[in-house]
Structure 1
């Protein structure tokens, strides 16, 4: 039979969908006052020549992934998902999510006490993730990431770091944790999301200059096959100053050679997210 799937022209590896009508977790850092719908997101992809996307569960929805899963089921060939879970989630629930297009679990550790992944409950949880061949996505400031990653590497799971590892652009490449994080790229188990440039704590110029310098190091240490680009739409907490056009402009400003751009947008995310 002929392959009728849409050709991959570009994969956005990090976006969120939600509705302001959904129940939000009590302990949250952000409350949306607008909707970020699947239809809006797909329109953005189409307008910018992108064909596929990865939906990531936002922290303010906690472990209620129903809205994300419903979105995946509306466009199963175009989308993959990354969920947030309780450690005691059942294997049956995990398998249902996998059938819907989930390929990873996110640990958003911003503002939280650092976990000890060597605990038995965590090991049992990660054993399920490994059996499903999902990846684990880490969102935490850069100084804490190396130790967390070192705890996870022996488990043999693919690890994905959000938003350059959330460094502070004002501190440059020499800031605590960044060189260690770059060295862990040699493990072959760690991927980096080239995303959220506007979240790097500096001015627009400082953030972009840091991203340019960091990308050069990442290409050397991780290799283009483990770097993926994401829009971070709808840019929560930065909606007033950042839009999809903004992040496309930042991607262009990185001035990636054609092979690296193709790796960021097609080759690496196609493999990591199983398109």
Structure 2
């Protein structure tokens, strides 16, 4: 990655980082397929990192290894004094009242982390249709992390439910030609329909696709109005190779147009997550 000479002041006032995790080691894990995180990542560490880089707000995403235990997430949101919002992982039979209580603490979405599974849950099942209805009723978005080849039916179900969707990590398309894949085409169609946003985040997690090519298609399809930016701090599994500055530089490389980039950093995020700057 080239040296762009970016300084904190180059980001617009009110910028938002739309994907990060707060982590505490040695808590019970959701399943045996998960392993303990390498290190703690506190809410204070994250807030200090945002401040140091001129970023005003953040969106915390519940990590998969805690399953539906959102204690760490909710404690962080309460401690953030309004700078952070969050997406929670829940069981599909959770009550609407319980979701509303999380919403009062700053939760603005429900995360479906279905990546790297032998079989993904059936989003058309009665229990998941009920979850989508609860999200729609409360104005919560559905955040999806899933391989792009499995996205089309999930996007279709969310759209049919009337809920909004936010797709992680460029839509995670397969291979070096991911921008021409069926799943990425379905994502572009969802962006054009107006109920879906996509995160320009974690290019280091892509499976060979060029993030600049993906970002160009996303911006073109949505007139720059359905993309948001995120760092994936603290880069679980890549802690020793990534820095926050690199994430900012990646955005500048993927979105060289300043007007569109500033919209991605502010207005798009405010609309997607209900942030009031």
User: TM-score normalized by structure 2?
Assistant: 0.90
Number of aligned pairs? 263
Give the conservation status (yes or no) of the 8 Å contact 1:8–1:52.
no
Matches within 5 A, 1:50-61: 50-61=55-66
- After TM superposition, where is structure 1 displaced by more than 3 Å over at least 4 residues in a row? 27-30
Equivalent-residue separation in structure 2 for 1:270 and 1:189 (angstroms): 14
Of 180, 185, 188, 1:182 maps to 188
Equivalent-residue separation in structure 1 for 2:26 and 2:20 (angstroms): 19
Aligned equivalent of 1:24: 29
Aligned equivalent of 2:54: 49
Instruction: Provide structure 2 residue ranges, at least 5 long, that are not aligned to the other structure.
Output: 1-11
1:140 lines up with 2:126 in the alignment: no
Counterpart secondary structure, 1:55? strand
Aligned equivalent of 2:137: 131
Matches within 5 A, 1:203-222: 210-222=210-222
Greater Cα offset, 167-176 or 148-157: 167-176
C-alpha displacement at 1:255, in angstroms?
4.3
Equivalent-residue separation in structure 2 for 1:255 and 1:109 (angstroms): 28
C-alpha displacement at 1:183, in angstroms?
2.3
Matches within 5 A, 1:1-275: 8-112=13-117, 113-168=119-174, 170-202=176-208, 210-275=210-275
Counterpart secondary structure, 2:179? coil
Instruction: Specify whether residues 19 and 189 from structure 1 end up closer, same or farther in structure 2 by C-alpha distance, changes over 3 A only.
Output: same
| TM-align CA RMSD | 1.7
Equivalent-residue separation in structure 2 for 1:116 and 1:92 (angstroms): 24
Counterpart secondary structure, 1:241? coil
Cα deviation code 1:82-109 (max 9, x no counterpart): 0000011122221110100110000000
Equivalent-residue separation in structure 1 for 2:217 and 2:274 (angstroms): 26
Aligned equivalent of 2:5: none
Equivalent-residue separation in structure 1 for 2:177 and 2:190 (angstroms): 20
Equivalent-residue separation in structure 1 for 2:164 and 2:204 (angstroms): 26
Give the conservation status (yes or no) of the 8 Å contact 1:191–1:222.
no
Equivalent-residue separation in structure 1 for 2:146 and 2:74 (angstroms): 25
Counterpart secondary structure, 1:77? coil
Give the conservation status (yes or no) of the 8 Å contact 2:43–2:80.
no
Instruction: Provide structure 1 residue ranges, at least 5 long, that are not aligned to the other structure.
Output: 1-6
Instruction: Specify whether residues 121 and 255 from structure 1 end up closer, same or farther in structure 2 by C-alpha distance, changes over 3 A only.
Output: closer
Greater Cα offset, 49-58 or 167-176: 167-176
